Amino acid sequence: MKNNLVSQFLENINRSTLEKHSLLIKKHVKGRHGVYALYNGTKLYYVGKASNLQGRLKHHLVDKHAETWDRFSVYLTNAHDHVHELESLILRILMPKGNSQKGCFSAAEDLKALFKQDIKEFQKRELIEIFSNGIAPKHKQSRRAIKKSDLAGCVKCRLPIQFVYKGKAYNAHVSKSGAIIFNGKEYVSPSAAAFSLTGSGVNGWKAWKFQDKNGAWLRLDTLRKSLKGHI
């Protein structure tokens, strides 16, 4: 089929066949684009690409690689557009002994930098889970940690709060100690509780809201600034 990358292939052929039956090999591969592989016994020694595979293989009978291989394979392609990247892919995966250069991709994006950033975000989340959640019994939670939330002393009884995220309302509450209780876990700051939901940096003081006596939804920041000791 025309859409296939590889149209024909010839694998694991003895070197002597190329020497004795060059005309038969030429019939199938002369002028054809593709990738070839040279083997030393069962071990891959060299990988290359060529627009004339028959000529390239004959050249390897006398060049610096001449005494290092005894079998070969050829893979004929329908188009030459992706031959370079196909060769590069093989080189990067198998790293044959006879190739001195590592394969390169002309327009592919290296995900390493993005992956490193993902790892950093994951580690950041882990640190918040470890050090910001009050999963341990309340008597083990330090007073200093509770004060960091600025909610200690702001409420005299359980205060329901809500965070609307992506059109969905999530409910939690502030305990007497000032901790945020969300999904059965205890958080020492509104932002840590919000992060556990969104997975990204969020200002919890603005994200979480509570209802006042008139039923209006106000930001927790309002509670911290204006209503301390009155709820």
Average pLDDT rounded to a whole number, residues 104-119: 78
Q: How is the chain split into domains, by residue range?
A: 6-94, 116-226
For the stretch 122-157, pLDDT in tens is: 787 777 766 654 443 443 444 444 344 557 777 778
List all residues 6 or more positions away from 128 whose beta carbon is below 8 Å from its beta carbon.
Answer: 192, 195, 196
Indicate left, alpha or beta for 5 from its phi (over 0: left) and psi (-120 to 50: alpha): alpha
Place of tokens 């100690």: 177
Amino acid at 143: R
Distant-in-sequence, close-in-space partners of 14: CB < 8 Å, separation ≥ 6:
70, 71
State the alpha helices, DSSP H only, in 95-189. Answer: 112-131, 143-147
Note the CATH architecture for domain 6-94: 3-Layer(aba) Sandwich (3.40)
φ/ψ of residue 84, rounded to 5: -60, -45
Q: What is the tens place of the pLDDT at every residue in 35-84? A: 999 999 999 999 999 888 888 999 999 999 999 999 999 998 887 777 88
pLDDT on residue 131: 65
Q: What is the pTM of this model?
A: 0.49
